[in-house]
């Protein structure tokens, strides 16, 4: 019998609270770059391990640093004076039954493919250097993978929390960044880079969005043209958020550090469309949570999911599974207004048997909580019983982590 506890939560749903703060770091933000690439490396390694060993072997590629380079921004196009450096960290399995696994080659190849696919102005051969510091894993943790079974034992004592549904503030922040980095938007405004951050602040039913968006200097001839292009971009954003959201009032501000009259020093220009080209470094785990948001009103998990192995590291598995369970309960259990799910592991214990699976639900007024509890328990039990299938989804990269 699994230890599943479902309790009523006596608090005002977040949607009805006065203040809400939500952030999203976009595709080209240095932290998001690290999370995205390291998770892709994990997926690529999992694919290679399945091919050679028939199972996912021990690895955790969740330590990484993207050290900013050095550029000189100029109107009509600047230069890269020093490339960025991507440092890959932590642990992986290099050999299986005498066969070598090309971990370093896979890591660098995967990173280059990600840069080519996602950042239009970054040449992964010219603009980035790579330093692979991935070492073999400890004997205690690698032995977990030799024990077999339907599911593996947890390689850490760790807790995770997920919730549902997203508030309209969370959806507004998430959807706005996705829109600004969409193919259609970039076709209309090629001067906008991929490094975008959206900060949402809601007070009652009024939303303020503060957006930081890198502009690419090769498209900008002078300061006057920058502010003209910025004005056109801001008009487009205002139209989008107004049409796609239902707040009483929405205010959008863009690149608020800009100061007219200071030339190139008073505007937000990059050479490659990301501040990592010469201003801001990035690390795994400092960016979005696994649902793509940094929601300051919500309980948070301290684990970085990106790059952790998908079959024994609960820092990844539980992080994502809690959000999945919460979403299923919210969608399938009537009268479950807001749902929070916690999973707590113990190292050495099978991942489908957490110490506790705790669910807190804000019920609708007058709802039968006995029915809600029973239905929620069944969903939690089903998801834990089928956690092996969920792990394979993670191994195949079917579930985003940032």
213-272 tens-digit pLDDT: 999 999 999 999 999 999 999 999 999 999 999 999 999 999 999 999 999 999 999 999
Is residue 144 pLDDT above 80, yes or no? no
Strands 206-216 and 249-254: parallel
Domain for residue 176, yes or no? yes
Q: pLDDT-based confidence at 302, cuts 50/70/90?
A: confident
**Which pLDDT score is estimated for 75?**
97
Domain range enclosing 202: 15-25+168-283
Q: Mean pLDDT across the stretch 347-368?
A: 96
- 138 pLDDT higher than 90: no
Q: Report yes or no on 354 lying in a domain.
A: no
For 183-219, what is each residue's pLDDT tens digit? 999 999 999 999 999 999 999 999 999 999 999 999 9
Number of structural domains (the chain) is: 1
Tell me, yes or no, whether 295 lies in a domain: no
- Note the pLDDT tens digit of each residue in 2-28: 999 999 999 999 999 999 999 999 999
- CATH code: domain of residue 232: 3.30.300.340
Q: In angstroms, rounded to a whole number, what is the distance separating the alpha carbons of residues 267 and 257? A: 7
Range list of H helices, 189-313: 223-244
- Describe the chain by its helix, strand, coil percentages, rounded to 5: 35, 30, 35
Q: Has residue 339 been placed in a domain?
A: no
DSSP letters spanning 278-337: TT--EETTSS--TTS-EETTS-------TTB-TTT-HHHHHHHHHHHHHHHHHHHSTTEE
Torsion angle of C-alpha atoms 124, 125, 129, 131, degrees rounded to 10? 90
* Residues 184, 230, 217: CA angle, nearest 5 degrees: 85
CA-based torsion, 284, 173, 20, 12: positive or negative: negative
Q: What percent of the chain has pLDDT over 70?
A: 99
pLDDT at 88: 97
Residue 161: inside a domain: no
Query: Locate tokens 């991942």: which residue?
Result: 351
Rounded CA-CA distance 365/383 in Å is 28
Residue 143 structure tokens: 């032995």
What would the mean pLDDT of 144-148 be, rounded to a whole number?
72
Q: Is residue 180 part of a domain?
A: yes
Kindly indicate the confidence band of residue 147, based on its pLDDT and cuts at 50, 70 and 90: confident
pLDDT tier at 137 (50, 70, 90 boundaries)? confident
Beta-strand runs (E) in 147-204: 159-164, 192-203
**Residues near 238 by Cβ (< 8 Å), separated by ≥ 6?**
250, 252
| 336: pLDDT strictly greater than 90 | yes
Please report the pLDDT score of residue 301 as a whole number.
87
Contact 107, 41 (CB under 8 A): yes
Is 365 inside any structural domain? no
Residue among 48, 189, 34 at smallest CA distance from 115: 34
Three-class DSSP category at 28: coil
Q: Is the pLDDT of residue 150 over 90?
A: no
Per the rule left: phi > 0, alpha: psi between -120 and 50, beta: everything else, 113 is alpha
Does residue 36 have a pLDDT over 80?
yes
Residue 257: inside a domain, yes or no? yes
Burial 100-121 (b: 16+ CB within 10 A, else e): ebebeebbbebbbebbeebbeb
Token couple for 379: 């969903």
Segment 85-127, tens digit of pLDDT: 999 999 999 999 889 999 999 999 999 999 999 999 999 999 9
Instruction: Report helix, strand or coil for 79.
Output: strand
Question: Which H or E element spans position 362?
Answer: strand 356-363
Cross-sheet strand order for the sheet of 4-8: 4-8, 356-363, 336-344, 159-164
Q: Taking all residues of the chain, what is their mean pLDDT, rounded to a whole number?
A: 96
Would strands 19-25 and 294-295 be described as parallel, antiparallel, or unpaired?
A: antiparallel
Task: Return the percentage of the chain with pLDDT > 90, whole number.
Answer: 95
Flag whether pLDDT at 141 surpasses 70.
Answer: no
């Amino acid at each position: 019998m699994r230890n599943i506890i479902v309790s009523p939560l006596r608090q005002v749903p977040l949607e009805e609270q006065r203040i809400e703060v939500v952030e999203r770091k976009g595709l080209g933000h240095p932290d998001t770059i690290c999370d995205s690439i390291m998770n892709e490396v994990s997926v690529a390694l999992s694919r290679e391990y399945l091919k050679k060993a028939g199972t996912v072997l021990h690895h955790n590629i969740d330590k990484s640093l993207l050290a900013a380079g050095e550029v000189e921004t100029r109107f009509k196009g600047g230069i890269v004076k020093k490339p960025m450096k991507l440092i890959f960290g932590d642990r992986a399995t290099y050999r299986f039954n005498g066969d070598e696994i090309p971990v370093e080659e896979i890591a660098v190849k995967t990173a280059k493919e990600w840069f080519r696919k996602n950042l239009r102005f970054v040449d992964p051969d010219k603009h980035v250097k790579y330093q692979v510091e991935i070492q073999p894993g400890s004997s205690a943790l690698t032995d977990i993978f030799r024990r077999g079974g339907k599911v593996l034992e947890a390689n850490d004592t760790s807790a995770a929390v997920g919730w549902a549904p997203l508030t309209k503030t969370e959806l507004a922040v998430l959807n706005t960044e996705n829109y600004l980095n969409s193919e259609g938007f970039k076709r209309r405004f090629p001067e906008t880079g991929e490094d975008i951050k959206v900060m949402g602040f809601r007070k009652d039913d009024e939303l303020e969005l503060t957006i930081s968006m890198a502009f690419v200097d090769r498209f900008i001839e002078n300061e006057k043209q920058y502010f003209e292009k910025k004005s056109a971009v801001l008009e487009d954003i205002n139209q989008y958020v107004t049409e796609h959201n239902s707040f009483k009032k929405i205010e959008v501000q863009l690149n608020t550090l800009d100061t007219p009259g200071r030339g190139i020093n008073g505007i937000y220009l990059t050479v490659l469309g990301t501040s990592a080209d010469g201003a801001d470094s990035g690390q795994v785990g400092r960016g979005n949570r696994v649902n793509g948001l940094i929601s300051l009103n919500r309980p948070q998990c301290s684990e970085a999911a990106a790059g952790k192995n998908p079959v024994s590291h609960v820092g990844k598995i539980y992080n994502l599974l809690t959000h999945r369970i919460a979403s299923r309960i919210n969608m399938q259990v009537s009268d479950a207004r807001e749902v929070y799910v916690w999973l707590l592991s113990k190292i050495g214990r099978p991942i489908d048997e957490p110490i506790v699976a705790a669910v807190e639900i804000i019920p609708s007024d007058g709802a039968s909580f006995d029915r809600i509890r029973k239905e929620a328990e069944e969903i939690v039990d089903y998801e834990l019983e089928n956690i092996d299938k969920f792990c394979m989804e993670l191994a195949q990269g079917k579930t985003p982590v940032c």
